[in-house]
Amino acid sequence: MRFGPDARRRLTLTGTFAAAVILAIMPFPTWAEPFRPDWVGLVLIYWCLAAPERVSVGTGWLLGFLQDVLYGSLLGSNALGKTLVAFLTVRLHLQLRMFPRWQQAVSVLGLLVANQLLVLWIRGAIGQAPETIGYWTPSVVGALLWPWLFVILRDLRRRGGIV
């Protein structure tokens, strides 16, 4: 099947986001749960970085809202976190693009932690804050995965014809 360039772009974006959402709710053994990175957050950061004119705050909110629905969490909590991540990434995208890969990973860590902190505050406010230090490991794992994820998504972006 042949797609026009516009359809191909849209397919690439939706495809990567759909994959991230599925990975986020895939069944996982309980002991390994702290090591599951925030796939949706990582993919969102990439697209805000690479194509801020296509993906920004609105997409972030929609993805966060979808996560809230799938997770059964307080409606709006993840939406707010992802909106903030998208805004910060778009705001900093020119600097972030210039950074060497490891420095980019450190910035990604900062963005992911900011998201988690916001969600933790919200969950604390309604009395459902988890009491384990392991709460922060997904951000660390996400930052460690960033260099590889960046390369994979860059290839997909070029193949999808998004410049």
Binding site for other proteins (CB under 8 A): 21-22, 24-28, 30-31, 33-34, 36, 38, 56-58, 61, 64, 66-67, 69-80, 83-84, 87, 90-91, 122-123, 126-132, 134-135, 138
Query: Which C-beta is closer to other proteins: that of 102 or that of 136?
Result: 136
From the CA atom positions of the chain, what is the Rg in Å? 16
Query: Which C-beta is closer to other proteins: that of 66 or that of 117?
Result: 66
Give the nearest distance from C-beta 87 to other proteins in angstroms: 4
Give the nearest distance from C-beta 111 to other proteins in angstroms: 14
In this structure, are residues 140 and 106 in contact, taking their beta carbons and an 8 Å threshold?
no
Give the nearest distance from C-beta 33 to other proteins in angstroms: 6
In this structure, are residues 66 and 21 in contact, taking their beta carbons and an 8 Å threshold?
yes
Give the nearest distance from C-beta 162 to other proteins in angstroms: 19
Give the nearest distance from C-beta 63 to other proteins in angstroms: 12
Query: Which C-beta is closer to other proteins: that of 29 or that of 100?
Result: 29
- Angle between helix 39-50 and 137-160 (nearest 10): 50
DSSP 51: -
Question: Counting runs of H as helices and runs of E as strands, what totals does the chain give?
Answer: 6, 0
Query: Which C-beta is closer to other proteins: that of 76 or that of 147?
Result: 76
Measured in degrees and rounded to the nearest 5, phi and psi for residue 110 equal -60, -45
Query: Which C-beta is closer to other proteins: that of 24 or that of 105?
Result: 24
Q: Tell me how far apart the alpha carbons of residues 22 and 7 are, in angstroms, rounded to a whole number.
A: 22
Q: Tell me how far apart the alpha carbons of residues 95 and 51 are, in angstroms, rounded to a whole number.
A: 14
